[in-house]
């Protein structure tokens, strides 16, 4: 059974919050990481910030289009993701945190896609596109982990 418009709006708000938290953690990690081995990860995270922010904007637009109100800072729920490590040379911890965040995003987008089936094709289409982006990031960082964990 498809979800109600209110349920879909709430799921979109969760996704919006997840994307904003990802932006904050990617910015922190792209600045905080130290060492020669960190450079490629820093560059990748810095580039991904723009894409993740675009995801949040697209989700916000959809929330508004279906009659919701985009959450402000007091309503955004953050803190579920792994935080940047205290050891600024722990590249593997950063990669593992990115993988966990991307997996959580994929799971959540799949949940929204199923909830919209037969009911809200526009939201479903948006979440399918966002899922494709998140899966691409997931594959990239799993590849990074293979390389970095071997050292």
The answer to whether the beta carbons of residues 89 and 96 sit under 8 Å apart is no
C-alpha distances (whole Å) from 29 to each of 4, 92, 93, 149 are 37, 12, 10, 18
The residue ranges of the chain whose pLDDT is under 50 are none
Secondary-structure class of domain 5-149 per CATH: mainly alpha
- CB neighbourhood size of 58 (10 A): 18
Query: What pTM, to 2 d.p., does this model score?
Result: 0.95
Q: If you ran DSSP here, which 8-state letter would residue 81 be given?
A: S
- Report pLDDT for 148: 86
Among 38, 139, 25, 44, which Cα is nearest to 82's?
25
C-alpha dist (Å) from residue 116 to 15, 75, 123, 124, 149? 14, 24, 7, 6, 39
Check residue 150 and give its pLDDT: 75
Q: Which residue ranges make up each domain of the chain?
A: 5-149
Contact between residue 71 and residue 129 where contact means Cβ atoms under 8 Å apart: no
């Amino acid at each position: 059974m498809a979800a109600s418009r209110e349920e879909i709006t709430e799921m979109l708000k969760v996704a919006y919050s997840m994307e904003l938290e990802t932006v904050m953690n990617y910015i922190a990690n792209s600045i905080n990481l130290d060492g020669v081995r960190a450079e490629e990860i820093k560059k990748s995270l810095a580039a991904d910030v723009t894409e993740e922010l675009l995801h949040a904007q697209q989700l916000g637009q959809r929330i508004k289009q279906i009659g919701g109100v985009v959450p402000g800072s007091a309503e955004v729920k953050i803190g579920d993701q792994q935080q940047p490590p205290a050891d600024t040379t722990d590249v593997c911890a950063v990669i593992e945190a990115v993988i966990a965040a991307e997996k959580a995003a994929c799971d959540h987008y799949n949940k929204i896609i199923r909830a919209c089936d037969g009911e809200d094709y526009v939201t479903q289409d948006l979440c399918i596109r966002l899922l494709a982006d998140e899966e691409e990031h997931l594959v990239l960082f799993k590849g990074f982990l293979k390389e970095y964990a071997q050292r």
